[in-house]
């Protein structure tokens, strides 16, 4: 995709112009966000740049071959935009008002569903007006897709913000082949039952032909709930609907553009920058690294406490080990995220204040986001990657670190509550609630022999390089194409 493209028109600002019609597409992706970020040029003008996410990289070839369209929100409130093209890809913006950003996005998506689906590590709030907004916005996405999809098109809906779209879309467009993928965990039945709108969400998802999850356990939770709450017949991964349709619920663990990232990490510039990072920290024996969105599910507090205690009690010397924690700003207007930011600021300040020396703060804390090249350099620089979520659908940072360690060195400390733990079995796995256990795992990850670290990394690299994002997307789309056809319905195969 080209790095930038012309700015689309804001609807209604160009009076003489005919409003561009949304394109028609044989393959439609629907996600809460468009895969582009708005960037400001030096002369004050703005452009769109493809965001670095793996999802768009994986789907780009299929979109190109099929004249695909991507439907999503562009991230600003009260700003309707016309559909626009980015280097041959059709982007179809869905507008949100500031009330909808507050109620649908910050509210129901990230104040209700996010904590509920992540094991209630924060308290989910249930508000009827948030739910109403979620329904309204889901309907808008579904309506947009119904306009854009060609007869018999394949539509792939992404994630927890849009769980009602499959059913809404099927009602208006029964000719479509509809897939849904949930990027975050699907909770155990006991937690899901708390949701006042549990039946509507299950029925919403059942509008799809194929519902994908990160792990088999999540698919099983879903099928069990459908049996209990919607009373449909189920057998293993299949739900049988009274109208004759069958819906498959199955696991497709998502991955990364592993070879693309490895190629970036192999560039001499990445190694030069990695050396520079280590140098600026006084070339410690062990550089530990955490990279996360600043989210309460990520277990930042637990890992920093474990590291702080190792220094405070003298197990680790301050000259010997340094921790870099990158925390990317996220959902900053949501109350729980504000509290977390203050909490982590205080904790880092306390640890550095208690055990730091002049020129030697044990933790370097960066509340910022970085380009991919800097991330690759950080992964190259780190001896130990510390990934300790309390609950995580997958965790791609763990896979990214592995992809960058092409010398089979380095060590990964990984929470057993990250989806990635099912595949990266040779990581130093930890229970992030067990601070002593985490301290022991950090020490092992630092002090084990090189041979042991190589053995583990080799196995993890094989897993990540063989199961990349391309494999994920093609497996899902193949299964979607092969999902049982309801009688008499035509769908167009993807190219």
Pure H helices in 291-434: 300-312, 335-355, 372-381, 396-404
Of positions 60, 159, 309, 423, contacts ligand F6P by CB under 6 A: 159
Q: Are 324 and 287 in contact (CB under 8 A)?
A: yes
Residue 163 Cβ vs ligand F6P, minimum distance, rounded to whole Å: 13
Catalytic residue, chosen from 86, 257, 392, 468, is 392
Q: Are 286 and 411 in contact (CB under 8 A)?
A: no
Secondary structure element (H or E) that encloses residue 143, with its range: helix 128-148
Closer to ligand F6P by Cβ: residue 113 or 169: 113
String of contacts with ligand F6P for each residue 223-242, x by CB under 6 A:
--------------------
Residue 408 Cβ vs ligand F6P, minimum distance, rounded to whole Å: 29
Q: For the beta carbon of residue 235, count every other beta carbon within 10 angstroms.
A: 10
Q: Are 134 and 111 in contact (CB under 8 A)?
A: no
Nearest-angstrom CA–CA distance, 351 and 305: 8
Among 221, 225, 222, 227, CA closest to 240: 227
Catalytic residue, chosen from 183, 209, 295, 468, is 183
Nearest-angstrom CA–CA distance, 216 and 199: 21
Q: Are 473 and 66 in contact (CB under 8 A)?
A: no
Closer to ligand F6P by Cβ: residue 34 or 247: 34
- Is 243 exposed, middle or buried, given 0-12, 13-18 or 19+ CB atoms closer than 10 A? exposed
Closer to ligand F6P by Cβ: residue 170 or 183: 183
Nearest-angstrom CA–CA distance, 3 and 37: 10
Residue 109 Cβ vs ligand F6P, minimum distance, rounded to whole Å: 7
Active site residue 392: yes
Q: Are 214 and 251 in contact (CB under 8 A)?
A: yes
Q: Give the binding-site size for ligand F6P (rule: CB under 6 A).
A: 7
Of positions 74, 183, 245, 298, contacts ligand F6P by CB under 6 A: 183
Q: Are 443 and 491 in contact (CB under 8 A)?
A: no
Nearest-angstrom CA–CA distance, 176 and 25: 12
Q: Are 288 and 321 in contact (CB under 8 A)?
A: yes
Question: Does the footprint of ligand F6P cover residue 273 (CB under 6 A)?
Answer: no
Residue 459 Cβ vs ligand F6P, minimum distance, rounded to whole Å: 26
Closer to ligand F6P by Cβ: residue 33 or 144: 33
Extended beta strands in 44-83, E state: 46-50, 69-73
Question: Does the footprint of ligand F6P cover residue 184 (CB under 6 A)?
Answer: yes
String of contacts with ligand F6P for each residue 352-381, x by CB under 6 A:
------------------------------
Question: Does the footprint of ligand F6P cover residue 170 (CB under 6 A)?
Answer: no
Of positions 27, 28, 33, 83, contacts ligand F6P by CB under 6 A: 33
Question: Does the footprint of ligand F6P cover residue 74 (CB under 6 A)?
Answer: no
DSSP string across 85-98: EETTEEEEE--B-H
Closer to ligand F6P by Cβ: residue 32 or 220: 32
Active site residue 209: no
Closer to ligand F6P by Cβ: residue 330 or 475: 330
Residue 40 Cβ vs ligand F6P, minimum distance, rounded to whole Å: 19
Nearest-angstrom CA–CA distance, 431 and 448: 19
Secondary structure element (H or E) that encloses residue 481, with its range: helix 469-482
Question: Does the footprint of ligand F6P cover residue 330 (CB under 6 A)?
Answer: yes
Residue 160 Cβ vs ligand F6P, minimum distance, rounded to whole Å: 7
Q: Are 226 and 186 in contact (CB under 8 A)?
A: no
Residue 144 Cβ vs ligand F6P, minimum distance, rounded to whole Å: 18
Closer to ligand F6P by Cβ: residue 177 or 183: 183
Closer to ligand F6P by Cβ: residue 297 or 302: 297
Of positions 177, 331, 391, 461, contacts ligand F6P by CB under 6 A: 331
Nearest-angstrom CA–CA distance, 45 and 432: 46
Residue 75 Cβ vs ligand F6P, minimum distance, rounded to whole Å: 8
Q: For the beta carbon of residue 318, count every other beta carbon within 10 angstroms.
A: 16
Q: Using CB positions, name the residue nearest to ligand F6P.
A: 183
What are the residues binding ligand F6P (CB under 6 A)? Answer: 32-33, 159, 183-184, 330-331
List, by residue number, the catalytic residues.
Answer: 183, 392
């Amino acid at each position: 995709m080209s790095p930038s493209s012309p700015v689309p028109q804001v609807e209604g600002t160009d009076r003489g112009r005919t409003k561009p019609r949304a394109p028609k597409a044989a393959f439609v992706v629907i996600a809460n966000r468009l895969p582009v970020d708005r960037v400001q040029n030096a002369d004050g003008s703005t452009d769109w740049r493809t965001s670095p996410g793996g999802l768009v990289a994986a789907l780009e070839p299929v979109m190109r071959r099929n004249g695909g369209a991507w439907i999503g929100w562009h991230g600003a409130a009260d700003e309707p935009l016309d559909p626009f093209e980015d280097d041959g890809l059709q982007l179809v913006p869905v507008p949100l008002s500031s009330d909808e950003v507050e109620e649908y996005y910050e509210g129901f998506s990230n104040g209700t569903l996010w904590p509920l689906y992540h094991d209630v590590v924060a308290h989910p709030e249930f508000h009827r007006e948030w739910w109403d907004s979620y329904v309204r916005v889901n309907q808008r996405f579904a309506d947009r897709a119904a306009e854009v999809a060609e007869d018999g098109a394949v539509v792939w809906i992404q994630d927890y913000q849009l769980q009602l779209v499959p059913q809404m879309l099927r009602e208006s467009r029964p000719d479509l082949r509809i897939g849904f993928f949930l990027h975050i965990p699907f909770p155990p039945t006991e937690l899901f039952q708390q949701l006042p709108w549990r039946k509507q969400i299950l029925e919403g998802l059942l509008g799809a032909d194929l519902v994908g999850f990160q792990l088999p356990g999540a698919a099983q939770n879903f099928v069990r709930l459908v049996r209990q709450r919607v009373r449909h017949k189920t057998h293993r991964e299949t739900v049988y609907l009274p109208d004759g349709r069958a819906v498959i619920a199955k696991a497709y663990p998502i991955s990364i553009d592993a070879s693309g990232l490895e190629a970036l990490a192999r560039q001499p510039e990445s190694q030069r920058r990695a050396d520079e990072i280590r140098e600026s920290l006084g070339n410690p024996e062990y550089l530990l690294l955490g990279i996360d969105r600043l989210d309460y599910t990520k277990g930042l507090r637990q890992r920093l406490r474990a590291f702080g205690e190792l220094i405070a009690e003298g197990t680790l010397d301050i000259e010997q080990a340094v921790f870099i924690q990158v925390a990317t700003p996220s959902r900053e207007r949501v109350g729980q995220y504000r509290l977390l930011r203050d909490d982590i600021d205080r904790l880092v300040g306390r640890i550095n204040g208690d055990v730091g020396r002049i020129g030697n703060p044990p933790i370097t804390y960066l509340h910022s986001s970085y380009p991919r090249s800097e991330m690759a350099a950080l992964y190259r620089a780190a001896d130990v990657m510390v990934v300790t979520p309390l609950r995580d659908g997958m965790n791609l940072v763990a896979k990214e670190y592995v992809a960058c360690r092409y010398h089979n060195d380095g060590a990964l400390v990984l929470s057993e509550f990250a989806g990635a733990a099912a595949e990266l079995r040779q990581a130093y796995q930890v229970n992030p609630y067990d601070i002593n256990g985490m301290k022991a795992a950090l020490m092992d990850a630092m002090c084990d022999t090189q041979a042991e670290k190589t053995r583990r990394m080799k196995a993890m690299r094989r897993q990540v390089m063989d199961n990349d994002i391309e494999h994920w997307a093609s497996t899902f789309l193949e299964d979607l194409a092969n999902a049982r056809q309801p009688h008499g319905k035509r769908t167009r195969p993807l190219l």
